[in-house]
Amino acid sequence: MIDTQQAKALLASADLIHSAETVAAAVSRLAAEVTEKLADTNPVLLCVMSGGVPFAGQLMTQLQFPLDFDYLHVTRYGQDTSGGALSWRAAPWTSVKGRTVLVVDDILDEGLTLAAIHERMLQLGAAACYTAVVADKLNGKTKPIRADFVALTVPDRFVFGFGMDARGAWRNLPAIYAMKEE
């Protein structure tokens, strides 16, 4: 966690990657794609805590079909800027057995977390499991999963805003920024 002054300095020195308007337009486009694919499935939308909250909230308001909502909490980062061991903190309360699931997360970085969630939903009996992310990081790595729905791509830098944090701060920004490269 960083203090308020450090957080403000971090934002002041950051590079804007996607403006709030660009993010909002991308979420709207993605909502239309999700609607086309899942409108008749009565899916369970699972928000991946904590980074998926802004995306899930804005996406849900644009989905004009019935769905169930729940969350799960799986992380590899904590307060770090690089991934560690997978930590399962909360499972969904809603049964996914026989259901179509849409997992909503902030970023597809290395893909290990999203792949593990996808696999777990299928193990729990989901009829189908789709994934949606705000950002797909263009890191050149082979990822174990590809998101079914991607709002935006981001460069291979540490990004924050719109659910993604920088040392615990700035998940609440409507735009996406990248830390200055050192």
Query: Which residues form the catalytic set?
Result: 109
Give the dihedral sign, CA 123/90/80/19: positive
User: b/e per residue, 12-24, with b = 16+ CB within 10 A?
Assistant: eebeebbeeeebb
**Cα 122 to Cα 101: distance, rounded to the nearest angstrom:** 9
**Cα 159 to Cα 154: distance, rounded to the nearest angstrom:** 8
Give the relative orientation of helices 20-38 and 53-60 as an angle to the nearest 10 degrees. Answer: 60
Which residues 6+ apart lie within 8 Å of 128 measured at CB?
41, 100, 101
Q: Are 17 and 155 in contact (CB under 8 A)?
A: yes
